Every structure is written in C-alpha cells, then in structure tokens.
Amino acid sequence: MAIVSRGFRGRPRAGGDRLPPGQYLVEDFPVLSAGPTPRVPPDRWEFAIDTEDGRTHRWSWQEFKELPQERPAVDIHCVTKWSKLDTHWEGVSLDVLFEDVESAAEYALVHSYGGYTTNLPVEDLLDGKAWIVHSFDGEELSPVHGGPARLLVPHLYFWKSAKWVRGIRLLNEDWPGFWETAGYHEYGDPWREQRYEGD
Amino acid sequence: MGRPPARRASWKAARLTEVRDETPTARTLRLTVPGWPGHLAGQHVDVRLTAEDGYSTQRSYSLAAPADGDVVELTVERVPDGEVSPYLTEIMEVGDEVEIRGPVGGWFVWRPESTAPVLLVAGGSGVVPLMAMLRERRRAGSRVPFRLLYSLGGPDGRYYADELRRPGPGVDVTYLYTRSTPDSWPRPAGRVMLDDLAEGGWPSSFEPDCYVCGPTGFVEAVADLLLALGHAPERIRTERFGPTGG
C-alpha cells in the first residue's frame, strides 16, 4: 500500500488508458542520451543487418530512402517517466528490411553511430512493430533526436528506440546493450513497468 | 547471460528530516530512508507522491550527496506549473513522507577509486549530481584533481554557495554567468564558449573524465565544444535536464 504524502493533490488526470503506469504526459519532446551527439552526414550513412552466420545486408542512404515508406503514428514512453501521444514518424518497416534476411536468431543487438547499443528479441522488431525512421512531424529527424535515422520500437521504453542507428546484429544469445548493463531492464515493457533490472 | 538475477528495487518510505534553501526557487531535502542500500555519486532516484484519493505520480531526481547511512539528500528546483517539484519545494514539511526507489543509473557516476582528472560542467540545476561527485571525492579522501565549471544566469542562482566558496585543495570552481555578473567580474555575461572550457577545464592530453549535466541545449553545446578541444567522445558523459520533469 502506497504511503500518502500529506498535502499532495496532483494534477487533473490526463492521458487516460493510453498512459502506462507511472508515466505522465508531455507536449514537448525531451532529449536523453549518454554522451555527445554524433553527426552523420547521409552520404556517409549506411545501415546493415548482420546475421548469426556472418552474412551482411547493407543499405546506403539512397537505397534506404527508395524502400517502401510508412508513416507510423504512435505513443512513445520514456523510462524517465514522460509519455508523448500521437507522434508522427516516417520510415521503413523492419519487415521490409528483413525480407531477404535468412536467420533463425532470436536476439538482436542494435548498434549506433557513437557506440550506443541496445538489445531486444528479434520478434519485437517484426510484424509491424518497429521501423527505421528518418522524419518526425514531417521534418527531417534532427541529430539530437537521432537523425539521420533512428530505430522506432514504440511498444518498449524509448531507450530501445536507438538513435543514430547503424545496424542490427542477429545473435543466438542475448547480449545486453548499454543501458541494459547499467541497471535498466533487459526487456522494458512500459505496461508492465519494467524500468530497472529486476522489475 | 552470466548476470546474477537482479532483485527488484522496492519503494521505500522517505521521511523529511531537514530542509535547506539553496536559492529562492530551490531547496535541498534531507530524507531518512530506512533500508537504503547506498548509491554512487551521480545516480538518481525515483520519487513517488500519492494523494489521498490514491492518485500517484513519479519523477526522477539526482542525489546531491553521497549516502550517509540511511540518509539521502535531493536538491529540487521548482518548475513553474510542475506537478511534483512545487510539492517538494513548497508544501512538504519536516516529518512528511514520500516514497523513493533506487538508486538508478550506472553510467553517469564517479567512483572514488578512479584516478583520471575530472572536469565537471554544470548548467543551472545540473550541478546537483556533480556536487554529489565533489562531496564523494571529499568523503573518500580522494586526491584526484577536479575542476567544476558552473554556468548559471546570475549569482543569486548559485546552489551550495558556501560550500563551493571553500572547495578544498585540488578542486577549482569557476562560475560562468550567462545573464548578470557580480560587480567588476572579469568575464562578461554570456553562454559557455570554447575559451571557457579551454581555460577552466583540462587539456585533452590529460585525458580527464568529463561529466556534463544541464538542460539539453547546454549539454549539446558543451559536449560539442569538448569534442572540438580534442576530448574523446567516450570520456564525455552527459545527463540532460529539461524543463519537463516538474
């Protein structure tokens, strides 16, 4: 049973059933990251998927932009408690990128320009649940928000949606990523409030 | 993979035992948290407030000091229109309780066994976790040289003013005012520039560990300047505070 803080009333409740436990709504778009912002010019950008048996699938910026594009509108939830509803993105579904990838791996380690990593099960990347996005609210994604392109996996806490994404390694074993080795939950489902290791 | 199963950090009752005003809009809360497991300098906690009707909400706050048994300190800036910070800075009284969970975060931390020189760059209330590092250095008797560059609007906004006036041997503190300065202050008011970091920081050849904390725009600017001065990106650790979080 929670302890009542004397004199605390709280705000009018907003967000309703779209707000996972412990989250609050924001209208702006806060930025979180662990180090300097990498700046990657699109002409030097590439994205790669490496399979567990050593095959690599690569896309240049131009090849990536020529793939079928989708415009997901999703709610996002940051482990630092803010949630933002109805965010509009544009990018490529991971289902498209995985079309020719032959793999039986169950785990993915996503890696970024600048060295960031995060891990998640491959099944959380497929079936319309994840995208590599290059636009937010109709504008090119800025470097502080992960541009030129970031992963978008809105059903998990937002640290899984790696900024400055560079590639995905498919693995037979689960390798914890950056925050996953620094005390955060390995899966990160906001609806089960899996914020920290052990939650 | 090879990691011991983690125990879930539970919510713990935290009773306010002492309050210190830092500025007209910020105060330090000293809280007793029975069963507190201890923490590293730079870590933060989640604070949960619950109302009479059962509504509850959470925010994260940096710890301002090393653990002292089961006593922790937070410094909270009142965010206009915030939901939690006005309670913590204006309504909560000694004897009142909130709940705390943590510590959280294993990256933006300084450990006293570390031997690299340290550069701390604070923007406004971003000084809080950096102050915990300075205090941890003193507590542990570390002789690692520290430099703190503290950017803020004007002298009235200084947190920990008395303590930073006498930082002790091996610690340099430089204030960088952005809007108003004391009389006859040598540096004109303005945002942090390359020269400020070159003069008040460490040469990149010393390979210092750099910790930058403040609002996003500040952190972005400082991290870029540190890169321009030749500091390696992996030695620049950042933590961003926005107006969001109130």
pLDDT digits (tens, 9 = 90+) for B25-44: 999 999 999 999 999 999 99
Residue of chain B whose alpha carbon sits nearest to that of A6: B96
Best mutation site among A4, A8, A76 for testing chain B: the one with the most B CBs within 10 Å? Answer: A8
Of B11, B46, B57, the CB nearest to A10: B57
The mean pLDDT value for B87-98 works out to 97
Q: Which residues of B touch A80 (CB under 8 A)?
A: 60, 245
Give the H/E segment covering residue A65.
helix A61-65
CA atoms A102, A105, A108, A111: torsion sign: negative
pLDDT for res B6:
64
Q: pTM for this structure?
A: 0.92
Is residue B181 predicted with pLDDT exceeding 80? yes
pLDDT for res A15:
75
Report ipTM (2 d.p.). Answer: 0.87
Is residue B139 predicted with pLDDT exceeding 80? yes
Of B106, B240, B244, the CB nearest to A82: B244
The verdict on A1 touching B (C-beta cutoff 8 Å) is no
Mean pLDDT of chain B, nearest integer: 93
Q: Which residues of B35-45 are buried (b: 16+ CB within 10 A; e: fewer)?
A: ebeebbbbbbb
Contact A144 B11 (CB under 8 A): no
CA distance A116 to chain B (A): 10
Q: Which residues of B touch A9 (CB under 8 A)?
A: 51-52
pLDDT for res A16:
80
pLDDT digits (tens, 9 = 90+) for B205-226: 999 999 999 999 999 999 999 9
* A33 phi-psi bin (left φ>0, alpha ψ -120 to 50, beta other): beta
Q: Which pLDDT tens digits describe chain A residue by residue (199 residues)?
A: 689 999 998 877 777 889 999 999 988 888 778 999 999 999 999 999 999 999 999 999 999 999 999 999 999 999 999 999 999 999 999 999 999 999 999 999 999 999 999 999 999 999 999 999 999 999 999 999 999 999 999 999 999 999 999 999 999 999 999 999 999 999 999 999 999 999 9
pLDDT for res A42:
93
Of B49, B108, B223, the CB nearest to A36: B223
Greatest mean pLDDT range, A16-20, A57-61, B167-171, B240-244: A57-61
Q: Which residues of A touch B55 (CB under 8 A)?
A: 10, 13
Residue of chain B whose alpha carbon sits nearest to that of A199: B8
pLDDT for res B242:
53
Q: What are the Cα distances from residue A119, in Å, to B72, B92, B154?
A: 33, 40, 43
pLDDT for res B246:
38
Contact B245 A30 (CB under 8 A): yes
Q: Which residues of A touch B52 (CB under 8 A)?
A: 4, 9
pLDDT for res B1:
44
Find residues 115-144 of chain A whose CB sits inside 8 Å of chain B.
Answer: 115, 144
**Reported confidence tier of residue B4, pLDDT bands at 50, 70, 90:** low
